[in-house]
Structure 1
Amino acid sequence: MLTQVQKIFLLSSVLSLGFVLIILSSALYHNWLPLTVVLMFLLAPIPNSLCGNTQSEDFMSEAPDLLADFGRFLTSFLLTSGVALPVTFAHNGLIKIPAMIMSLAGGAIVYGSIVTFGAIFYEPEGY
């Protein structure tokens, strides 16, 4: 098993790999539009983490949790936008196809490492 420090080191290394891919997709092809992916994938986990902790006290209640659903909607909107922007830029000729692929791979690594960090260090409240 990995210690907490080793987990943080591993996740930060993977996160930096994602950022390097995104920055290289911009720098190698002299076009800085793929950097918009960074903003989308960094903002994507925020609505889910803010709105996901609104669980009802009554576990027998079947009322829908509208705030949690809204957080999931915003997260999926930002993830879809993070994928669609480079594809749209490449389709319109604003960036090249290899830059799109590197940007998408880097964005997936960034988002995956952020979600993994949240999953590893999440401690549910005990009763």
Structure 2
Amino acid sequence: MFSSSILLQILACAIYGNWWPMLSALMYVVVPMPCMFFGGGSTQFLTSRDGGGWIDAAKFLTGASTVGSLAIPIILRHAHMIETGAMLIEFTSFFIFICTVMCFHRASLDDDW
């Protein structure tokens, strides 16, 4: 699923001959960083109600980078730097990426794996 998400990122750039949409692929690298640095590599802290300075910072950074992944194509389309089709392909890529993250999160919660 992750590979198809990256493929759609590249196709959104290659089909329209404009590589600006690849900026949102940078956010795909930034999204898991708070989990790696503040959560110990686990995604379980995202759904917990436990707080604290670093836990709250990790939740905020994860949310901000997720919103940034959606906002970058919208801003680029508003500035007429990319086409509407490229923006829609970017949204599809983001949806597949989020489904991948949710499947990983669900699999990491199960002890049977």
Matches within 5 A, 1:39-54: 39-53=26-40
Q: Compare the two structures and name the one with the higher helix fraction.
A: 2
Partner of 2:24: 37
Q: Distance in 2 between matches of 1:103 and 1:65?
A: 34
Query: Aligned to 1:76, which of 63, 68, 77?
Result: 63
Check if 1:92 corresponds to 2:82.
no
Partner of 2:103: 116
Task: Provide the alpha-carbon RMSD of the alignment.
Answer: 2.0
Partner of 2:15: 28
Q: Is the 8 A contact 1:86 1:103 kept in 2?
A: yes
Deviation at 1:105, TM superposition (A): 1.3
Partner of 2:88: 101
Deviation at 1:96, TM superposition (A): 0.3
Q: Distance in 2 between matches of 1:118 and 1:31?
A: 33
- Rg larger in 1 or in 2? 1
Q: Distance in 2 between matches of 1:35 and 1:119?
A: 28
Which amino acid in the other structure matches residue 69 of structure 1? Answer: D
Q: Distance in 2 between matches of 1:64 and 1:34?
A: 35
**Any stretches of 5+ residues in structure 2 without a counterpart?**
41-49
Deviation at 1:83, TM superposition (A): 0.6
Deviation at 1:51, TM superposition (A): 1.7
Residue range with higher mean Cα deviation, 34-43 or 103-112: 103-112
Q: Is the 8 A contact 1:18 1:106 kept in 2?
A: yes
Paired residue total: 102
Equivalent pairs: percent with the same residue?
A: 25
Q: Distance in 1 between matches of 2:64 and 2:51?
A: 20
What TM-score comes out, normalization by structure 2 length? 0.78
**Any stretches of 5+ residues in structure 1 without a counterpart?**
1-13, 54-62
